[in-house]
Amino acid sequence: MKCSYVALTFSICAALLAQAPQPGANLVSPQVHPDKTVTFRMWAPKAAEVTLTGDWLPAKTNPKFTKDEKGVWSLTIGPMEPSIYIYNFNVDGLAMADPVNPRMKLRARTSASLVEIPADTPAFWQERDVPHGKVEINWGKSKALNGETRGIWIYTPPGYDKNTRKYPVLYLFHGNNDIAGGWTLVGQANFILDNLLAEKKATPMIVVMPFGHAAPYGARGNDELFEDYLLKDVVPLVESEYRVETGRDKRAIAGLSMGGGQSLRIGLGHLDMFSAIGVFSSGVPANFETRFATPLQDAKGTNAKLKQFWIGCGKQDTVFAGSKRLSEILDKSQIKHTFREIDGAHNYTAWKKFLVEYAALLFR
């Protein structure tokens, strides 16, 4: 009987311990305050140092957390401009996502977390009470990538399923270490287009967002392989499975960072296919002036083909000098273009603003 009593007592205690909340289980992180400051928290009693990395912070700026007597590290920053930001923690040299934040930012390599600072009234990138389009993932085998199955995120405007009209297409690219869903999950491209259309500030269009890493992450030759993938797989798939208008006047191309470079190279290299190029936060590609000597030297012909050539970059962005240099090269060659500079870093907060302005100019 005594042994049974001990065993029973042990079982009950074990069950109670299993049900008891673990230290740090009730933490809230991130906590967005009414004044738009944000508090980040993490329970790591044995850690020696915890720092923050954020896409809004200047390079090599990693604010340090402070630890309380319970082993909870915390840091409050801001106020911050309303937007969606990408961040992660660094615990004793190990980068990791926020353990208690379910809102994840998936990337080509590693993962991070997202924090949204809402505007007092719904901003241009937030969901509003307007008709909404749809975003679907269209899967298909790639001929250019040895039969690899890839998902393409595709936005169709409100009413697409209820009519028979055909639509122009914007091919929209993400940046390095992002995924095909980046422009939707963080950039809010679908809500941006919904809001522009509701205000009659844009032409209804389909937006195609493919995965920009055609080669394994970090491998050489990605840009060339991605160009093949786009032209041989993505464009044919879109034009066979969606009601789209074909012809160069009905196709535009744009991208951010790495995707901006891809947009620039593919757009200028295929002026027979695209009539608008958008370059967000991207510098001058290597051998740009020699590779594209023909369109640069034929300003009259190039200007006649491009309805829009739009470049934007934040002044606090590390690639700002390169973006400005690109504009100077185009000026020297008398290529008509827009160069928009704003206060901003290398993040979606700036890129969303660029998409709003660029998308409103297309297919007019």
Residue spans of the domains in the chain: they are 22-117, 134-361
Q: Which pLDDT value is given to residue 36?
A: 97
The whole-angstrom distance between residue 16's C-alpha and the CA centroid of its chain comes to 45
Cα angle for residues 187, 192, 193 (degrees, 5° grid)? 125
Cα angle for residues 153, 157, 159 (degrees, 5° grid)? 130
| Average pLDDT, consecutive stretches of 10 residues, N- to C-terminus, the chain (364 residues) | 42 46 78 98 97 93 95 97 98 96 94 96 96 97 95 98 96 97 97 98 98 92 95 97 96 98 97 98 91 96 98 96 96 98 97 98 96
Q: What span, in angstroms and rounded, lies between the C-alpha atoms of 147 and 8?
A: 59
User: Residue 330 is which amino acid?
Assistant: L
**Order of strands across the sheet that contains 66-67:** 31-32, 38-43, 72-77, 66-67
Reported pTM:
0.92
Under 8 Å CB-to-CB from 2, ≥6 apart: which residues? none
Q: Which of 131, 35, 47, 151 is nearest to 94 (CA)?
A: 47
Q: Which pLDDT value is given to residue 4?
A: 45
Domain 134-361: CATH superfamily is Alpha/Beta hydrolase fold, catalytic domain (3.40.50.1820)
Q: Which pLDDT value is given to residue 202?
A: 98
Q: Which pLDDT value is given to residue 73?
A: 97
Q: Is 13 helix (H, G, I), strand (E, B) or coil?
A: helix
Q: Which pLDDT value is given to residue 13?
A: 44
Domain spanning 22-117: CATH 1.10.287.70: no
Q: Which pLDDT value is given to residue 70?
A: 93
Are 170 and 252 in contact, with CB atoms under 8 Å apart?
yes
Compute φ and ψ for 340, nearest 5 degrees: -105, 120
Q: Which two tokens stand for residue 340?
A: 């928009």
